[in-house]
Amino acid sequence: MSDGGRLNDGVRGSLVIIGGAEDKQGRCVILRKFVDLAGGDEAVVAVVTAATEDPEKVSRTYREVFARLEVRETSIVRVERREDAFEREPLERIKRATGIFFTGGDQLRITSALGGTPLYDALYDACGRGVVIAGTSAGASAMSDTMIVGGEDDGAPKRCTTAMAPGMGLLRQIVVDQHFAQRGRIGRLLSALAQNPFVLGVGVDEDTAIVVRPGGVFRVLGSQTVTVLDGKGVSHTNASESVPDEPLALFGVTLHILPAGHGYDLESRKPLGPEAFEGEGQPGKPAYAAF
């Protein structure tokens, strides 16, 4: 993983990274925000079901919820085999979309099907054009350039706690984990940091999301919290000397807990309170994109 360059260099679209189990029946705060960013009642949403083993059920669920949120058009991009990512129809749906939504399932199904294909190129081009891209659960993990693909829940950090693989690369130098507090995943995120302390660890709880805007600032939405683990100041780790099932030593990790309304500057690695987002767009205010 590179340690140079900006975290989201060249990405002009917003990212909505959801920890899974987002509200689909009530106020739908997170999904409404995604729709708003995609154009509101003029939104054209493409739902990518590559991660799931049950695309019919998942497609039906998101068609219904986006219809209730008055999305103008919802299409389904089914990528059940890698060959599908070379077909014209799914490619055109990505190109037409103002919002792209990755469902949950298995993040390896996303990257193994899309990586290096015309569909992946179209996805990256869309993000560069300003199209909002969202992912829930597995779709959230796949956003960054390195992703967690497995590991022990609720365990101590060890080298064997976390399995990692290349992600989609829409965010750099970040590792995202989902269902975070609900499944006790702090150990596996710490394991990822121990192996590369420069990486920023972002753990997103269920029914919670971060909205990452151009410029590298995110704000938290939803009913739970986001945990940020910053390993840049780590003074010691035994990751290279320990055996796989031995508990890891890790000195100097910085931890932040961010509820809704709070945020984080990915470039300066500083947490932001709600006051940082007041008066967006007014003279003299921080140059954070309007949330």
Active-site residues: which are they?
137, 179, 206
**Residue 208, strand partner residues:** 222
Q: How far is CA 77 from the centre of its chain?
A: 19
CB 31 within 8 A of CB 22: yes
Rounded CA gap, 48 and 55, in Å? 9
- CA proximity to 237, closest of 250, 252, 253: 250
Distances in Å between the Cα of 231 and the Cα atoms of 26, 194, 196, 205 are 37, 8, 8, 20
- What DSSP assignment string belongs to 82-114? GGGGGSHHHHHHHHH-SEEEE-SS-HHHHHHHH
Structure-block tokens of residue 285 = 């205010």
Exposed/middle/buried for residue 140 (C-beta within 10 Å: 0-12, 13-18, 19+): buried
Instruction: Name the residue among 227, 39, 245, 62 with its Cα closest to residue 130.
Output: 39
For 42, list phi and psi in degrees, rounded to 5.
Answer: -100, 5
Here the tokens at position 146 are 């390195």
Q: Note whether 84 and 113 are within 8 A (CB).
A: yes
How far is the CA of 244 from the CAs of 119, 168, 254, 280, in angstroms? Answer: 37, 27, 24, 48
